[in-house]
Amino acid sequence: MHRTQLAGYRAEHFLYEADGGVATITLNRPERKNPLTFESYAELRDLFRALAYADDVKAVVLTGAGGNFCSGGDVHEIIGPLTQLDMPGLLAFTRMTGDLVKAMLGCPQPIVAAVDGVCAGAGAILAMASDLRLASTRARTAFLFTKVGLAGCDMGACSILPRLIGQGRAAELLYTGRAMSAEEGERWGFYNRLCAPDDVPGEAQALARSLADGPTFAHGMTKKMLQQEWSMGIAEAIEAEAQAQAICMATNDFHRAYHAFVAKTAPRFEGD
């Protein structure tokens, strides 16, 4: 009774398109390399929260317009106003940005980041918080908070980034704020795959489509366990996975897959 449809969603502060179970979110301020504003932060947070209840979206592509992913928080519309806020106001902002990452981690759909060009500050966080990351060979990724006198511990970076690329490499990026090249990002495990710049959108859509056509209930379970098992011991994780897999074995998708295998046909997954 709590499921909803997002095919007709109309975004105010970025572009949103849904087609065949794949939702594409495009940050769309190309003249400024797609910076975030207070409003776009909040709308992204609310949209990813809503995706948890959307039964017509099976996978998400997150990208930017005009050859860049995202340059981070807008200097004039976020950074400047932040210098005028008191501590309660500052904390409200940082909690709101953290809530965006929580919403991305909490929505059951796999998120594929399609990264080209500049991917900096909060933009690097958005890529980090995605489940899979494809990048063009010209992508440059920088957690540049230290460049503006801030700590690298922003929006979960000190927790999530070391798990992706290792403690030492994460420390280097977070202390120095230097840009990580696309080749470094792939070699270190931040990026799953590099593509020619013109191929990134198509490759990301194809990957998202393959996920949307798969057992989406099981994908959601995989995502949930990837998050929950960060804080578990091995024995605890094995038991949690036993329970999770038993739940998946009770789904119609599992039964359809078995009957399709017996009949030597392709399984038809419906996410139930």
Average pLDDT of the chain, as a whole number = 94
Give the pLDDT confidence of 103-149 residue by residue, as tens digits: 999 999 999 999 999 999 999 999 999 999 999 999 999 999 999 89
Q: Which residue has the tokens 């009957």?
A: 259
Task: Give mean pLDDT, residues 34-54.
Answer: 95
Whether 1 shows a pLDDT value over 70: the answer reads no
What's the whole-model pTM score?
Answer: 0.94
Long-range pairs for 200-207: beta carbons < 8 A, 24 or more residues apart: 200/63, 200/114, 200/115, 200/116, 200/134, 200/135, 200/136, 201/63, 201/114, 203/114, 203/134, 204/61, 204/63, 204/112, 204/113, 204/114, 204/134, 205/22, 205/24, 205/61, 207/112, 207/132, 207/134
Cα-only R_g, the chain: 19
Q: What percent of the chain has pLDDT over 90?
A: 87
Tell me the per-residue pLDDT of 171-229, one tens digit each, with 9 for 90 and over: 999 999 999 999 999 999 999 999 999 999 999 999 999 999 999 999 999 999 999 99
